Structure 1
């Protein structure tokens, strides 16, 4: 009886150890497969996220380049407006000088230009024409000087 009990006990141990060994091996293999599947999923998500990040980085660079281009264009337009302002201010200065000359000749002062005996109107027209020509000449000289100093293009 003693021998039979030992054989049954040994058989039951073999089954338990074999069953435990099998279930442990099955658990390890199952866990190993679950980790591999998880790693594959995570790697796929990482690749997708990396691709999205690359697209966003490219888009950010494109937006930055577009912003720089727009700022350059705005600066160019602003420079053109400033140059137009310089030209108009110069024209205003020259016309103001001509108005001063015309104002001096328009006063009621006694000068030989307005003597009735001479051809006063013809001399006045020559004076106005000469003043206008001189004003245009001064304007051209002022613009040429600004271009020489590189204030204008």
Structure 2
């Protein structure tokens, strides 16, 4: 039934079309008329407005949870950074102790080497009265070894005191 080139839909057909639109699109798409001839689009606007409020509340709750998680992760990262700094400080302290021990051992090696040089000088095959079995030269030998040992210990103590004075050792 056409009139003036446009199709005509009766009131019952319009309600059926509105019901189909509600099923497929979740609400009336076009404004529908009730029996009094007024529009009922306010119901869908209120429904959509409530859906937006619920969505905003859900998003706000998620944002609060995400913010809390971010704060926990930031705290954990700071804790890890502090722990890493503490470990680096401890490693540096141990490294300093090892270096100091190296300085002390190197100094001891130098002093002992000086004593070995002294013993080497006296140990050469030179004819002196010290090694003559007829003459009792043992006390002189003991004084030489004792003096060399005391001198080495004295040099070591002086070297360590100098290192501590220069703040190379604690």
**TM-score normalized by the length of structure 1:** 0.85
Unaligned runs of 5+ in 2: 1-32
Find the aligned partners of 1:61 and 1:33 in 2 and give their Cα distance: 42
Unaligned runs of 5+ in 1: 1-11
**TM-score normalized by the length of structure 2:** 0.77
Measured against aligned partners, the alpha-carbon deviations of 1:88-127 in whole angstroms (never above 9, x if no partner) come to: 0000000000000001111111223334443211101110
Q: Is the helix fraction higher in 1 or 2?
A: 1
**Correspondence 1:142 to 2:153:** no
Measured against aligned partners, the alpha-carbon deviations of 1:7-47 in whole angstroms (never above 9, x if no partner) come to: xxxxx89723x2x1xx2111111111001000000000000
Larger RCO, structures 1/2 (Cα 8 Å, 6+ apart): 1
- How many correspondences in the alignment? 138
**Correspondence 1:99 to 2:110:** no
Find the aligned partners of 1:151 and 1:78 in 2 and give their Cα distance: 13
Match of 1:29 among 35, 46, 56: 46
- Structure 1 match to 2:103: 86
